[in-house]
Amino acid sequence: MQRLPFQGVRVLDSTYVFALPYAGGLLADLGAEVIKIEGPGRIDVTRGGAWSGAFPENTPGEDWWNRSSTYNLLNRGKKSLTLDLSNPKARALFADLVKVSDVVMENYTPRVMKGWGLDYPNLRKLRPDIIMVSNTGYGHGNGPYSNYPAQATTQEATHGHCAVTGYIGGPPSKAGQSFVDFLASWTALFGIAAALRLRQRTGQGQWIDIGMYQCGVMFLSEFLMDYIANGRVAPRIGNRHPFRAPQGVYPARGEDQWVVLSVGSDEQWRALCDLMGKPHLAHDPRFADSLSRLKNHDALDEIIRAWTSQHDRYELMYRLQEVGIPAGPVFNARDMHIDPHYRAREFLEYVEYPPERGMGRRPLIGRPWKASATPARIQGPAPRLGEHNEAILVGLLGLTPEDLQELEKAGIISQVPRESRLEPRVSPEEMVRRGILAEWDPQYRQRLGI
pLDDT at 150: 87
- Is residue 44 flagged as an active site residue? no
pLDDT at 30: 96
pLDDT at 49: 78
Measured in whole angstroms, how far is the alpha carbon of residue 327 from the centre of its chain?
A: 25
Mean pLDDT, range 334-356, rounded to an integer? 92
Of 96-100, 160-164, 345-349, 419-423, the range with the lowest mean pLDDT is 419-423
pLDDT digits (tens, 9 = 90+) for 333-344: 999 999 999 889
Q: Please say whether the beta carbons of 35 and 11 come within 8 A.
A: yes
Measured in whole angstroms, how far is the alpha carbon of residue 42 from the centre of its chain?
A: 22
Bridge partners of residue 251, in order along the sequence:
258
3-state secondary structure of 2: coil
pLDDT at 219: 86
Confidence of residue 287 (pLDDT cuts 50, 70, 90): very high
3-state secondary structure of 426: coil
- Scanning 203-295, the segments in alpha helix (DSSP H) are 212-218, 221-230, 266-275, 290-295
* Of 64, 49, 61, the residue nearest 18 (C-alpha): 49
Separation of alpha carbons 35 and 14, rounded Å: 8
pLDDT digits (tens, 9 = 90+) for 12-32: 999 999 999 999 999 999 999
pLDDT digits (tens, 9 = 90+) for 31-70: 999 999 999 999 999 998 778 888 999 899 999 999 999 9
- Residue 366 scores a pLDDT above 80: yes
Mean pLDDT, range 230-234, rounded to an integer? 94
Q: What's the whole-number average pLDDT of the chain? A: 94
pLDDT at 1: 59
Mean pLDDT, range 144-159, rounded to an integer? 87
Q: Please say whether the beta carbons of 140 and 146 come within 8 A.
A: yes
Q: Please say whether the beta carbons of 226 and 232 come within 8 A.
A: yes
Separation of alpha carbons 311 and 313, rounded Å: 6
pLDDT digits (tens, 9 = 90+) for 376-393: 999 999 999 999 999 999
Separation of alpha carbons 69 and 47, rounded Å: 8
The two beta strands, 361-365 and 348-352, are antiparallel
* Of 277, 339, 269, 348, the residue nearest 307 (C-alpha): 277
Separation of alpha carbons 282 and 267, rounded Å: 9
Strand stretches in 263-344, DSSP E:
327-329
Bridge partners of residue 262, in order along the sequence:
247
pLDDT digits (tens, 9 = 90+) for 212-226: 999 999 889 899 999
- Residue 158 scores a pLDDT above 90: no
3-state secondary structure of 173: coil
pLDDT at 419: 78
Bridge partners of residue 364, in order along the sequence:
349
Separation of alpha carbons 424 and 264, rounded Å: 49
Confidence of residue 356 (pLDDT cuts 50, 70, 90): very high
Separation of alpha carbons 21 and 28, rounded Å: 11
pLDDT at 112: 95
CA-based max dimension of the chain: 86
Confidence of residue 127 (pLDDT cuts 50, 70, 90): very high
Instruction: Give me the residue spans of the domains in the chain.
Output: 10-218+345-448, 247-332
**Positive or negative torsion for Cα 23, 75, 370, 11:** positive
Give whole-number Cα distances, 418 to 93, 119, 411, in Å: 20, 27, 9
**Share of residues in the chain with pLDDT > 70 (%):** 100
In one-letter notation, the amino acid at residue 97 is: L
**Share of residues in the chain with pLDDT > 90 (%):** 81
Q: Interior CA angle at 256 toward 250 and 262, to 5°?
A: 20
- Residue 405 scores a pLDDT above 90: yes
* Of 180, 31, 1, the residue nearest 107 (C-alpha): 180
Separation of alpha carbons 113 and 418, rounded Å: 22
Mean pLDDT, range 254-278, rounded to an integer? 97
Confidence of residue 176 (pLDDT cuts 50, 70, 90): confident
pLDDT at 142: 83
HEC secondary structure over 71-101: HHHHCCCCEEEECCCCCHHHHHHHHHHHHCC
Q: For 10-218+345-448, give the CATH class.
A: alpha beta
Separation of alpha carbons 301 and 286, rounded Å: 13
Separation of alpha carbons 350 and 339, rounded Å: 16
pLDDT at 436: 86
Bridge partners of residue 80, in order along the sequence:
36
* Of 53, 79, 85, the residue nearest 67 (C-alpha): 53
Q: Which of 181, 301, 312, 339 is catalytic?
A: 181
Mean pLDDT, range 79-87, rounded to an integer? 97
DSSP state of 333: H
Mean pLDDT, range 312-321, rounded to an integer? 97
Please, which residues have CB within 8 angstroms of residue 61's CB and are 6 or more apart in sequence? 55, 67, 358
Give whole-number Cα distances, 261 to 5, 176, 273, 385, in Å: 39, 21, 13, 46
DSSP state of 37: E
CA atoms within 13 A on the CB side of 166: 17
pLDDT digits (tens, 9 = 90+) for 198-210: 999 999 999 999 9
The two beta strands, 10-14 and 33-38, are parallel
Record: fold of 247-332: formyl-coa transferase, domain 3 (3.30.1540)
What's the pTM? 0.93
